[in-house]
A = this chain, B = another copy of it.
């Protein structure tokens, strides 16, 4: 691949990725065929293989993009603050917002994590996020802001809680239907802050 694309070509590629993201999220990767994607776009199969080497390559492209966007969003939210705990909080909130707003991407990441072919990519993406968080926690521990504990474990706990609160409370699967996203976010953040040993202050 690594084709040089005309502007029109770029649009096509993006269109295919968007449509595929939606279909993969709705029906699952294995239950979505290349033909489904092409038909939904209204293009022939040749087009698909012009832009992507394979169905798997398409999924990887989507996945990498999603993880990259997630991280960039977090970093943007984090950068300005000088206080490590505030940075962690901002990161959690940014993640919650991003995943709540991009539930298709969330579904794909979630699935990819369980599939032998794709989980390494997800694992790596999450590791990057966890490493970020770990740095902030180390700083907080050094400052004595939170008790001394393995910051890596704590960072995983935080990341995990974030993802799962999204999965459980902010997505269509939710039986409750109309949950207050803000309340969920607050609860997640509180759980995490307590989890890392910060005394409750709310």
With contact pairs A110-B114, A156-B165, A160-B160 given, residues A190 and B123 touching in the complex (Cβ less than 8 Å):
no
A194→B184 CA distance, assembly (Å): 18
Chain B positions within 8 Å of A114 at CB level: 28, 107, 110-111, 113-114
Chain B positions within 8 Å of A195 at CB level: 157, 161, 191-192, 194-195
Chain B positions within 8 Å of A110 at CB level: 113-114
Using a CB–CB cutoff of 8 Å, the interface residues on chain A facing chain B are 26-28, 30-31, 107, 110-111, 113-117, 119, 123, 147, 149-150, 153-154, 156-157, 160-161, 164-165, 167-169, 173, 184, 187-188, 190-192, 194-197, 199-200
19 residue pairs from A and B, CB less than 8 Å apart: A27-B116, A28-B114, A28-B117, A30-B30, A123-B173, A149-B187, A153-B184, A153-B188, A156-B164, A156-B165, A156-B168, A157-B164, A157-B191, A157-B195, A160-B164, A160-B168, A191-B195, A194-B195, A194-B197
For this chain, the copies found in one complex come to 4
A153→B169 CA distance, assembly (Å): 9
Q: Name the one of B147, B153, B173 contacting A187, with C-beta atoms under 8 angstroms.
A: B153
Give the distance to chain B from A116, nearest Cβ to Cβ, in Å. 6
A30→B55 CA distance, assembly (Å): 15
For A31, the closest partner residue in chain B by CB is B116
